Amino acid sequence: MPGHRLDPLLKPGSIALVGASAREGSPGFQLANMVVHSGYRGKVFPVNPGYASILGKPCYPDLKSLPQAVDHVVMAVSNARLEAVLTEAIEQGARAGTIYENCYLENDREPPLKQRLASRARASDFQLCGGNCMGFYNVCEELYAGLYPFSGSVPQGGISFIAQSGSAFASLAHNGCRLRFNLCVSSGNEMVTTLADYMSWSLEQDNTRVIGLFLETVRDPEGFTAALRTAARKRIPVVVLKVGKSPLGETLANTHTGAIVGNHTAYQALFRKYGVIEVNDLNELAATLMLFQADRRAGPGKLASIQESGGFRELVADGAHELGIEFAAISRQTRETIQEQLEPGLVAENPLDAWGTNQNFEERFYACLSALMKDENVAAGMFFTNFKDDYYLTEAFYRNIERVSRETVKPLAMVNCYSDLVNLRLCRRSSALGIPLLDGSREALLGVRHLFDFRDFIPEDALTASPPDFDEKTVAKWKTRLRGRAGETLGEAESMDLLRDFSIPVPDHAMIDNRDDLLKAAGETGYPVALKTAATGIHHKTDHEGVALDIANEADLVLRYREIADRLGPRVLVSRMVDRGTEVGLGMLNDEKFGPVIMVSAGGVFIELLADHAVALAPVTRREADRMIASLPLDTLIRGTRGRRPEDRSALLDAIVAFSGMADCLRDHIVEMDVNPVIVARNGAVAVDALVVAR
């Protein structure tokens, strides 16, 4: 089977260290020391004209002097020397390299050094880690290609960690023993090889159990999306800490959607589509990676927790409630088994306080924990206390956890309710057996919620989603009509025609600019009717008092028309009023990296006042549309509450699917859309207003 294109970079058979040094304390020495003494089994060639040997290895004056071509050249040299070294590496047959420097030169020429290096590498299909990076560790190959020393070695396991921040790279790779890696990469500014490429390589490694990302930006959207699709297909979790979540709404104010949907929303939509787990800080990232690296996936059911303190039980219960985590309803048999073990005054329940007194506590906790984990309603278990070295309670509890862990295939974790504890030896023992030891009750609960979310993710939605089967002539017609109208806002009548052609119901309507045509149009559509100004440049008509609703007769129609025409001009849209119902807003923002982002929210005047909205990447499946609506408070109104009759939720789902399909078909021609509101009544869902901006 042919290897991956990144093998020469991450799994080379030979490596040259240009800039290696015998001077202790220098970056060149640290590099040589890490590679030579790491256990790497490939051939290592130090390159530096100032030495005959370094750390017992023959040292060569330049790459041309090497006895063979090498796969990988580490370029630990100054910015001024990088271009010459890269050129020599390519000429000598190397296929990959690492650059630590930032690739900037003072008083540089055009194009600048960074661009020259990238162009030369790409032209030769030369993979490049960096620049401005800390290198990479292929832990399974024991290759540590970095400049910064650390004590000990990186524990080997199933985490592939790729960080666009050197500090984040060092935070996880250089500290502790609980995270176990097969690959750690500091990708730097990704001049050639991107985060998506490292993900692609990791997803082909049999020992990859979970991928962790510290993400600033995506430089290869197509490759990144492809990697997420592969991860979803293989059921390999991807955990992302995304930073730089600045809002974009102030520069995209044409539509309500533009004002609501910020820069990060497209990432959220992408992550939800492919089941990516997003975390908010390094502690949550570490806790989640620990749970997934154990390679025990949550099955059906909910959480069970056991504590040796009533106060800790309340702490955990409060935290779970805040995070929306439910505890398993344990069976009567489980309760009876546990109750037999408990001392007077304690109740067999979940979460469980099993302490009582010191008498026979070890046997009691084992029996209770074992019974909880055997319950068919329990998907995962957690033992909350404070685990520390050389403490008799910790040793007893750990023996119980180790024993129960061997009896079950369900996830089982140890959790410290407080973090400032000395427990390094216990961490090593538990980690070696694949038992997570997590710091912080909140981080642990967030981690188990992510465990359950990944269990519940349905990858088929992402892997099989396709737009509705629209008529080819209709699609071609609108592509032609929209072509060449960049930045133009369509009139409402044209926007409504667009929706109707793509199977989104709209009321009968007509565009008029005089009294006689108004009366004729109203007679044809039938009363009651609505009037809306069609004046050029007015996007949000209610803000300009340009809307009149529930006009019941001809006299009232003439009066309301005169009021609007005198202030805003004679051109208006007249349409038939639709039945009252719940107002829903649909929106689309065409993200420059990931394409159309679909938004569903409360509609009408509340679209920007209420913060709740759901987003997804187009096209949206019916099941995705159902989950979007279900996540919003307005779903309660649609389903019927406090005497209200249920409304046509199915018709709303049809409208969302059609709207997302239209956005996908016309992604090259539309940049923003608002359909606000869609009125969901008992017998249908009808779009009564629309704003479309051509791309």
Cα gap 85→63, rounded to integer Å: 8
Q: Which of 329-333, 533-537, 627-631, 675-679 is the least confident region? A: 533-537
Question: Residue 440 falls within a domain, yes or no?
Answer: yes
517-525 CB contacts, 8 Å cutoff, 24+ apart:
518/557, 518/558, 518/561, 518/572, 518/574, 519/554, 519/557, 519/558, 521/574, 522/551, 522/554, 522/557, 522/574, 525/574, 525/575, 525/576
- Could you give the percent of the chain with pLDDT greater than 90? 78
Q: How many CB atoms lie within 10 A of CB 432?
A: 12
The tens digit of pLDDT for each residue in 571-586 reads 998 988 888 899 999 9
Sign of the torsion angle spanned by Cα atoms 513, 514, 519, 520 = negative
Residue 327 has pLDDT above 50, yes or no: yes
> Across all residues in the chain, what is the average pLDDT?
92
Domain count, the chain: 4
Question: Locate tokens 């793509």: which residue?
Answer: 502
What distance in Å separates the CA atoms of residue 503 and residue 655, rounded to the nearest whole number?
8
CA max distance for the chain: 102
Q: 64 pLDDT band (50/70/90 cuts)?
A: very high
Give one DSSP letter per residue of 194-253, joined into a string: -HHHHHHHHHT-TT--EEEEEES--S-HHHHHHHHHHHHHHT--EEEEE------GGG--
Is pLDDT at 503 greater than 80 in this prediction? yes
Q: Are residues 608 and 566 in the same domain?
A: no
- Tell me the C-alpha distance between 19 and 85, whole Å: 10
pLDDT category of residue 463 using cuts at 50, 70 and 90: confident
- Check whether residue 36 and residue 106 sit in a common domain: yes
Is residue 260 assigned to a domain? Answer: no
**H helix runs in 390-505, sequence order:** 392-407, 424-432, 441-456, 460-464, 472-482, 492-501
Q: Given this model, what pLDDT does residue 253 score? A: 40
pLDDT reported for residue 151: 74
Do residues 573 and 561 touch, judged by C-beta distance below 8 A? no
Band of the pLDDT at 248, cuts 50, 70, 90? Answer: very low
Kindly state whether residues 571 and 615 are assigned to the same domain.
Answer: no
CATH number at residue 521: 3.30.1490.20
Percent of the chain with pLDDT over 70: 96
Same domain? 158 vs 11: yes
Same domain, 569 and 623: no
CATH value at residue 75 = 3.40.50.720
Residues 620 and 683 in one domain: yes
Structure tokens at 90: 């390519």
Residue where a domain stops, chosen among 456, 471, 499? 456
Q: What CATH number does residue 660 fall under?
A: 3.30.470.20
Domain stops at, among 528, 556, 577:
577
Is the same domain home to 306 and 217? no
Cβ(624)–Cβ(609) below 8 Å: no
The answer to whether residues 200 and 301 belong to one domain is no
Higher pLDDT, 550 or 337: 337
Closest CA to 381 of 395, 357, 397, 362: 397
254 belongs to a structural domain: no
What amino acid is encoded at 67 in this protein?
P
User: The tokens of 521 are what?
Assistant: 């149009």
For 112-158, the pLDDT digits (tens) are 999 999 999 999 999 999 999 999 999 999 999 998 888 777 999 99
Residue 460 pLDDT:
84
| Same domain for 444 and 314 | yes
Please report the pLDDT score of residue 462 as a whole number: 81
Please count the CA atoms within 13 angstroms of the CA of 517 that sit on its side-chain side: 12
Q: Which residue has the tokens 């690492």?
A: 98
d(CA 590, CA 113): 34
Do 192 and 66 fall into the same domain? yes
Name the domain boundary from 212, 244, 276: 244
The pLDDT value recorded for residue 611 is 58
264 within domain boundaries: no
- Crossing angle of helices 282-293 and 441-456, rounded to 10°: 60
Q: Which domain holds residue 538?
A: 508-577
One domain, residues 569 and 589: no
Q: How far apart are alpha carbons 494 and 536 in whole angstroms?
A: 13
In a domain, 257, yes or no: no
396-433 tens-digit pLDDT: 999 999 999 999 999 999 999 999 999 999 999 999 99
Judgement on whether residues 184 and 231 belong to the same structural domain of the protein: yes
The pLDDT of 358-377, averaged and rounded, is 96
pLDDT band at 246 (very low <50, low <70, confident <90, very high): low
